[in-house]
């Protein structure tokens, strides 16, 4: 279920609470017992998100590659940072220079009612303060849900847990992943080599060039190219539809026929939306909202997007009914009037 922003937030949890610590690795479910043995007891030394994939490195040079797929999730428990809207942790999670209005208005647990244009500076401080770890539960998937505080540590695994990562203070249980495997450094390089640029990995300007080149040489519709993880990493069905609307671009336009400047703006908008997603934990694609509309957008995903999941409803700009069609087995939404 998660698009790229979720995976970056999950990697940040590992950076904050697992990196630098020895980890007991097990497979309560049993399906990953052989892999767990190879990692058990080793210290985690890095947590890296690239697109929708996450790579955890251990001190003997082996990595754990995880892809959550459609409904995978990580359940964290213990002394963890559970603030749903906590800021990026810096380091490789940084590059948050393009914060949008929405991110600036979200701070800690509290919703700051917008309209206070002058509140920008004040919120900056709280946005960047990491909440104190506390003994609780946090499920991280596409969305994040905080559970009840735990009484005993570690809590027993619940359900089908593919892999459990346990330190003295925190535990992470992985369930329902599409991919969970131990990789050598060479294999990690191959996996990452198959992926298109991620705005939060490497130089974004370099990523822009790779993206532009990949799009402009293909006759494939831009609506499919945005979902192609070898063209650009991390975009899923929601961001795809929303990026196309924001660009007022017909999803069926062949990549090579999209003007270069439009392609560049697509990349820059992805950089922008991803940074909002990583900071807020939500796929807010109507940034800049104020007042009632902003409150509604935070409360309900149905009020959070321009076109995604809005088939038959009036376009928020022109009133035309939003269209839906299947494209490569996924639902594609767009406004036939605004996007052409």
Partner DNA sequence: CATCGATGTTGAG
Partner DNA sequence: TCAACCTCGATGG
For residue 299, the minimal CB distance to DNA (Å) is 11
Look-up: residue for tokens 């790579």? 55
Q: Which residue's CB is nearer to DNA, number 6 or number 13?
A: 6
Q: Which residue's CB is nearer to DNA, number 44 or number 221?
A: 221
Longest dimension (CA), the chain: 59
Collapsing DSSP states into helix, strand and coil, what is residue 16? helix
Q: Check binding of 69 to DNA (CB under 7 A).
A: yes
Which of 85, 229, 275, 339 binds DNA (CB under 7 A)? It is 229
Q: Check binding of 183 to DNA (CB under 7 A).
A: no
The closest of 216, 210, 206, 185 to 196, measured between CA atoms, is 210
For residue 9, the minimal CB distance to DNA (Å) is 12
Is 238 in contact with 304 (CB distance < 8 Å)?
no
Stretch that binds DNA, among 216-224, 247-255, 312-320, 327-335 (CB under 7 A): 327-335
Give the number of residues in contact with DNA, rule: CB under 7 A.
Answer: 32
Tell me the DSSP string of 293-320: HHHHHHH-GGGS-SSTT-TTSBPTTT-P
Is 102 in contact with 284 (CB distance < 8 Å)?
yes
Q: Which residue's CB is nearer to DNA, number 160 or number 320?
A: 160
d(CA 100, CA 280): 10
Stretch that binds DNA, among 108-116, 120-128, 172-180, 244-252 (CB under 7 A): 172-180
Q: Check binding of 281 to DNA (CB under 7 A).
A: no
Query: CB under 8 Å, gap of 24 or more: what pairs does 107-113 form?
Result: 108/83, 109/83, 109/84, 109/85, 111/295, 111/298, 113/295
Q: Which residue's CB is nearer to DNA, number 66 or number 93?
A: 66
d(CA 272, CA 200): 11
Integer CA distances (angstroms), 309 to 201, 255, 274, in order: 29, 24, 19
Which of 238, 244, 274, 286 binds DNA (CB under 7 A)? It is 238
x/- mask, DNA, residues 43-62, rule CB under 7 A, reads --------xx----------
Q: Check binding of 178 to DNA (CB under 7 A).
A: yes
Q: Check binding of 131 to DNA (CB under 7 A).
A: no
Is 215 in contact with 222 (CB distance < 8 Å)?
yes
Which of 160, 168, 184, 320 binds DNA (CB under 7 A)? It is 160
* Segment 293 to 312, residues that bind DNA, using CB under 7 A: 301
Q: Check binding of 30 to DNA (CB under 7 A).
A: no
d(CA 273, CA 236): 12
Q: Check binding of 236 to DNA (CB under 7 A).
A: yes
Strands (DSSP E) found in the chain: 24-26, 44-50, 53-58, 63-67, 73-80, 106-107, 110-111, 134-140, 144-146, 163-166, 170-175, 179-183, 323-327, 330-334
Q: Which residue's CB is nearer to DNA, number 80 or number 227?
A: 227
Q: Which residue's CB is nearer to DNA, number 183 or number 237?
A: 237
Enumerate binding residues for DNA (CB under 7 A): 1-3, 6, 31, 51-52, 67, 69-71, 73, 142-143, 145, 159-160, 175-176, 178-179, 227, 229, 236-238, 283, 301, 328-331
């Amino acid at each position: 279920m998660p698009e790229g922003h979720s995976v970056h937030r999950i990697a940040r949890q590992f950076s904050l609470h697992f990196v630098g610590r020895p980890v007991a690795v097990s497979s309560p479910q049993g399906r990953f017992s052989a892999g767990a043995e190879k990692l058990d007891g080793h210290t985690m030394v890095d947590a890296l998100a690239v697109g929708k994939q996450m790579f955890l490195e251990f001190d003997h040079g082996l990595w754990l590659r995880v892809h959550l797929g459609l409904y995978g999730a990580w359940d964290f428990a213990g002394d963890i940072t559970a603030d749903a809207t906590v800021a990026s942790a810096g380091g490789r999670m940084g590059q948050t220079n393009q914060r949008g209005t929405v991110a600036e208005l979200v701070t800690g647990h509290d919703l700051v009612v917008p309209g206070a244009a002058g509140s920008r500076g004040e919120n900056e401080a709280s946005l960047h303060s990491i909440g104190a770890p506390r003994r609780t539960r946090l499920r991280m998937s596409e969305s994040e849900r905080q559970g009840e505080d735990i009484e005993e540590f570690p809590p027993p695994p619940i359900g089908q847990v593919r892999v459990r990562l346990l330190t003295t203070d925190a535990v992470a249980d992985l369930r329902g992943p599409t991919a969970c495997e131990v990789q050598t450094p060479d294999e990690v390089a191959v996996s990452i080599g198959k992926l298109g640029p991620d705005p939060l990995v490497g130089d974004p300007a370099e990523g822009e060039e790779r993206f532009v080149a990949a799009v402009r040489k293909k006759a494939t519709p831009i609506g499919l190219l945005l979902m192609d993880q070898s063209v650009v990493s991390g975009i899923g069905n929601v961001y795809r539809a929303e990026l196309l609307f924001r660009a007022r671009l017909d999803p069926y336009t062949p990549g090579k026929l999209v003007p270069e400047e439009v392609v560049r703006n697509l990349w820059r908008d992805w950089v922008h939306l991803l940074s909002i997603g990583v900071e807020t934990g939500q796929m807010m694609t109507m940034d800049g909202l104020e007042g009632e509309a902003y409150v509604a957008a935070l409360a309900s995903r149905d009020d959070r997007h321009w076109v995604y999941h809005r088939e038959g409803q009036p376009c928020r700009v022109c009133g035309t009914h939003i269209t839906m069609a299947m494209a490569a087995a996924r639902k594609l939404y767009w406004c036939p009037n605004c996007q052409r």
